[in-house]
Structure 1
Amino acid sequence: MAKDIITRILHADRLGSVEHGAVLKPLHIATAYGYSTAEELTAVFQGERSGHVYGRQGNPTTAVLETKISLMEDAVGTVCFATGMAAICSTMMALLKKGDHVVASRFLFGNTASWMNTLTQMGCEVSLVDATQAAHVQAALRPETRLVFVETVANPRTQVADLEGIGKLCAQHGLLYVVDSTMSTPHLFQPKAVGASLVMHSLSKSICGHGNALGGSISDTGLFDWSRYPHLLPAYRKGPPTTWGLLQIRKKGLRDMGATLSAEHGHRIAAGAETLSLRMERACSNARALAEWLQAQPLVSKVHYPGLASHAQHARAKALFKDFGALLSFETVDGVDPSEVLNALELVIKSSHLGDNRTSALPVARTIFWEMGAEQRASMEIADSLIRVSVGIESREDLLADFGQAFGRLAQRG
């Protein structure tokens, strides 16, 4: 089999037997799975042999997607969920107990930040810190700390966490290191390289890419010693310890929480994943061009994009990532309403989605970060005028022309 990751993903469906010689794994929609003997069913149910017992825990179609994600992340295994948030919440519900402590970046996606608030209501303590420096994470550690959670690139302000430094810190203290790599994607970065224990993706975003499916995943890199983790139940301590954590996540997270990825959406995501690298190369190129263009506009006060030399973590992003991603944000000068900018755009879609083939944008403080209030937005460096742009794969000339005509109209009004 070819070693290049692009080729391996493209031909991943042919690693095992494929029904009727199909080059793409077909869609399996069955909910129940029967066996010839009660002993066979029992062996599958107890994890003694591979197989499916009930659709809530996965199906042959989502299993193929899990194999693809594992290949992308060089992981020992993956569990897929209905959404990215389902992956985060179910994993923490499966692995944490009342009294545990979590350290997380304070530059989190809005819904993830909301989940951290919910976690505190369930008896866990959460410390939100500036994860761009590992020292801040270290200062927050306690004896009861169980895991550290960060995003590779923060949505929407694009802060880049001290991924390598935090990885070393977690290894030193034997902590679970959970990395949300949605914004960087496996094309740009593998968190395993910095010691991540678990890698999370919102598959709805760039891995799918077409805005036509919801999904999430958790991959185990094989680096964490699960024999040292105190909350694993005896029933899941079977076989090699590298499999224990993911088994408990599948059983106590996916099965018990019921956030199952549908076969149809899993099939769409698996197909979208085949062109991830091609799409990301184009989207990253467009994003760099747009960020540089915006930086020169008199109606723009700040541009946040890791590919700009002015970005606080530019050197880190350059060292860690293959490219700088397809997400950027910018702030308008005083007197320019972000909604006016968005309304003047004709090609760009006003939408809360990201990681799509089509470029979209939104006013951050008035939409996805509105619920948390002004004080918490300020702590996350979210300005009232901030506009997030998820850059797609349109013609670069058409994309820049759309922003050009929008700013031209606004300048004429002023």
Structure 2
Amino acid sequence: MNTKGFTTSILHSDRAGGIEHGSLHKPVHFSTTFEHASSADIAAVFQGKQAGYTYARQINPTVVALEKKLNLMEDGLATCCFASGMAAISATFLSLLKAGDHLVSSAFLFGNTNSVFQTFQNFGIEVTFVDATDAANVAAALRPNTRAVFVETIANPCTQVADLAAIGTLCAARGLLYVVDNTLTGPWSFRPKAVGAGLVINSLSKHIGGHANALGGSVTEVGNFDWSTFPNIIEAYKTGNPQNWGLVQIRKKGLRDQGACLSPEAAHHISIGSETLVLRQRAVSSNAQQLAEWFAARPEISRVYFPGLPGHPQYERTRSLFRHAGSLMSIELKPAYDVFRFLDALELTILTTNLGDNRTLAIPVAHTIYAEMGAARRAEMGIADGTVRLSIGIEDIEDLIADFAQALDKAR
């Protein structure tokens, strides 16, 4: 059992398993194939009877080292990495669901997650979107063919916080798989295992990597779900401990069959970035809190979406569940202020899409990442034309405030 602190465990994770030549980091293994001592060994490895490496599409030493770190972060049993967060989400549900199954999802979703769930419906997987800030809405949507419930911890871009604990209790009572996307909170601030999640998904491209230099995603099995009751596990994977069945199927179908594998170079970048996760999250959450309070007092802003503000609908839930309110916020400019003029006046803040970077980022969400879904769907999600999403970085707070102040002055 690991008794060391979060950062200490992550920082020394590679060394715990022994590294060639006394290196402090797991080296990058670019090989796609791995030699075996005998034909009996290669057969045992391929059949899962013996630990070892088969082919880099399914397993790679550098990626495995990252998976071990992520497992420590989420207090999991096992973790599987993918080429991106979207690959992790797609592989999870395409591996576990089939035509005729029903998925209940939060309506407040990352735009691409919303898009892929719409695509699932083309393959006969029914999806119902609900306001997951109240578990009663999830309960009302359940059907006899419901197999799973999916939520994000903090929604992008309007920061709704799902009724995480109550939904976990509901899923446990109904025997449903509970899948939680922990990307915008991160495993230091919150572990979904504590509220009954069965699988935890992270986009590693965001806070965990932190440096905008690698794409990656992960799925972690945390041991709360009884896979022996799940009807869609393939017979070939029903071997050994049932706690492993779900992730084995995700790994086989998502990596072996779909090929959405994480590259070893990206795994190395993410692994190095993860070492400073706590330091970065402390800095960005402090900056975000101060900026949210500053924006709330500005006359140009009609609304600030940030769960660390007392007026936020899930403020108390945020305080009870998370270490901090995160680095994501959205601001809505009053009609007299032009969103494009405001954004173009920014000098320090970067106009780009991404979250969880060291630098502060801004994007007009209705006109970019949520443009495709249309005005009606945006209205359901609370996204106005004047909404600007911000991902707050680690810059000096005085510099950030000065940049936003001069841009607001020019936005009328």
Is the TM-score greater than 0.5? Answer: yes
> Match for residue 223 of structure 1?
224
SS of the residue 1:33 aligns to: coil
Counterpart mapping for 1:258-269 below 5 A: 258-269=259-270
Alpha-carbon deviation of 1:408? Answer: 2.3
| Unaligned runs of at least 5 residues, structure 2 | none
> Match for residue 193 of structure 1?
194
SS of the residue 2:28 aligns to: coil
Counterpart mapping for 1:396-407 below 5 A: 396-407=397-408
> Match for residue 290 of structure 2?
289
Q: After the TM superposition, which of the residue ranges 12-21 and 83-92 deviates more from structure 2?
A: 12-21
Q: In 2, distance between residues paired with 1:60 and 1:90?
A: 21
AA of the residue aligned to 1:11: H
Q: In 1, distance between residues paired with 2:46 and 2:123?
A: 31
Q: In 1, distance between residues paired with 2:409 and 2:379?
A: 30
AA of the residue aligned to 1:394: E
Alpha-carbon deviation of 1:58? Answer: 2.3
Q: After the TM superposition, which of the residue ranges 140-149 and 10-19 deviates more from structure 2?
A: 10-19
Q: In 2, distance between residues paired with 1:224 and 1:384?
A: 41
> Match for residue 136 of structure 2?
135
- Asked whether 1:272 is paired with 2:273, we answer yes
> Match for residue 151 of structure 2?
150
> Match for residue 38 of structure 2?
37
Contact 1:58–1:261 under 8 Å retained in 2:
no
Q: After the TM superposition, which of the residue ranges 333-342 and 289-298 deviates more from structure 2?
A: 333-342
Counterpart mapping for 1:382-393 below 5 A: 382-393=383-394
> Match for residue 350 of structure 1?
351
AA of the residue aligned to 2:409: G
TM-score by length of structure 2 reads 0.99
- Asked whether 1:177 is paired with 2:178, we answer yes
Alpha-carbon deviation of 1:335? Answer: 2.2
Alpha-carbon deviation of 1:271? Answer: 0.5
Aligned residues: 411
Alpha-carbon deviation of 1:409? Answer: 2.7
AA of the residue aligned to 2:59: G
Counterpart mapping for 1:5-404 below 5 A: 5-404=6-405
Alpha-carbon deviation of 1:2? Answer: 5.1
Contact 1:346–1:402 under 8 Å retained in 2:
yes
Q: In 1, distance between residues paired with 2:380 and 2:36?
A: 55
Q: In 1, distance between residues paired with 2:191 and 2:264?
A: 26
Alpha-carbon deviation of 1:254? Answer: 1.6
Alpha-carbon deviation of 1:5? Answer: 1.2
Q: In 1, distance between residues paired with 2:51 and 2:393?
A: 39
Q: In 2, distance between residues paired with 1:139 and 1:292?
A: 36
Q: In 1, distance between residues paired with 2:338 and 2:118?
A: 31
TM-score by length of structure 1 reads 0.98
Q: After the TM superposition, which of the residue ranges 51-60 and 135-144 deviates more from structure 2?
A: 51-60
Contact 1:283–1:392 under 8 Å retained in 2:
yes
Contact 1:294–1:300 under 8 Å retained in 2:
yes
AA of the residue aligned to 1:395: D
Q: In 1, distance between residues paired with 2:161 and 2:375?
A: 23
Contact 2:342–2:410 under 8 Å retained in 1:
no
